[in-house]
Amino acid sequence: MRKKAHFFALLSFFFAACAVITVNIYFPERDVKEAYKALEKELMTPGASGKGIPEEQQSDKPGNRSGAPAGKPESSWRFGLTSAAYAQEPGLADKISEIVKRMPDVVAAYREMGARLPDIDRLRSSGTVGEGKDGMLVVREGVLSPADKALVDRENENRKTVIRGMAKAIIRLNRLPENQENLSQVTPQAVEQFASIRRDEAKKGWWIQEPGGNWVKK
């Protein structure tokens, strides 16, 4: 009986030792918002073609996706004060932007959004679509033509790519693995900042959805 109790005690200790500690990921809201704006200004401008983006930053190299030093395995146990260190770091928005610009799919999404911006503005100005609280375009009035529906669907897909890229950038900034648990923690905050910019930059007469869910005309 004593041996059995000893065995279960050892087993419990083993599982406790292997448990993954949930880490609260540092999310610099102000810097993320600034990074979003800088990326939009640079990558959505007509004719933008990677100018200012170093060649080595235009590919998302596998094997070092978390931003940790190459050759060192990721650990589930986190030690140190990463959040405190980044909290006082100057130029953090620029650093976040540079991480995002290493993601070809996100860069491509920004450029596609820039190319269709006049059509999206047309739909927003007509009141047909509005800016949802989740950062996506939402049909507000009437029925979209097949061509316009395709535009809105593609725009929302691009926006999801951009938001996902920002979430990944913050995870890499914290030197953590890009697993589903970490993405689930960071993505809502990335959505919130992206949607906030859409509301802030909406023109007079556009429909916007407030965080609480109410729709208002700006």
Mean pLDDT score of the chain, rounded to an integer? 81
Q: Which two tokens stand for residue 76?
A: 């589930």
> Does residue 137 form part of some domain?
yes
Whole-number pLDDT of residue 141 = 86
Whole-number pLDDT of residue 22 = 60
> Does residue 149 form part of some domain?
yes
> Does residue 14 form part of some domain?
no
Whether the Cβ atoms of residue 156 and residue 137 lie closer than 8 Å to each other: yes
Q: How confident is the model at residue 173 (pLDDT cuts 50, 70, 90)?
A: very high
127 has pLDDT over 50: yes
Rounded distance between C-alpha atoms, residue 11 and residue 24, angstroms: 28
The set of residues, in sequence order, having a beta carbon less than 8 Å from that of 183 and lying 6+ positions away, is 164, 167, 168, 171
Q: Which burial class, exposed, middle or buried, applies to 152 when counting CB atoms under 10 A from its CB (0-12, 13-18, 19+)?
A: buried
Q: How far, in Å, are 116, 201, 215 from residue 153 at the CA level?
A: 12, 21, 21
> Does residue 69 form part of some domain?
no
Lowest mean pLDDT, pick from 21-35, 81-95, 149-163, 201-215 = 81-95
Q: How confident is the model at residue 85 (pLDDT cuts 50, 70, 90)?
A: very low
Whole-number pLDDT of residue 68 = 41
> Does residue 183 form part of some domain?
yes
DSSP 57: G
**Closest by alpha carbon to 128, among 197, 205, 214?**
205
> Does residue 31 form part of some domain?
yes
> Does residue 4 form part of some domain?
no
Rounded distance between C-alpha atoms, residue 190 and residue 198, angstroms: 13
62 has pLDDT over 70: no
Rounded distance between C-alpha atoms, residue 100 and residue 58, angstroms: 10
Q: How many domains does the chain have?
A: 1
Task: Identify the domain containing residue 208 by its residue range.
Answer: 23-55+75-217
Whether the Cβ atoms of residue 142 and residue 128 lie closer than 8 Å to each other: yes
> Does residue 128 form part of some domain?
yes
The predicted-structure confidence for 186-204, as pLDDT tens digits, reads as follows 999 999 999 999 999 999 9
Lowest mean pLDDT, pick from 24-38, 54-68, 146-160 = 54-68
H/E stretch holding 117 = helix 117-126
pTM: 0.77
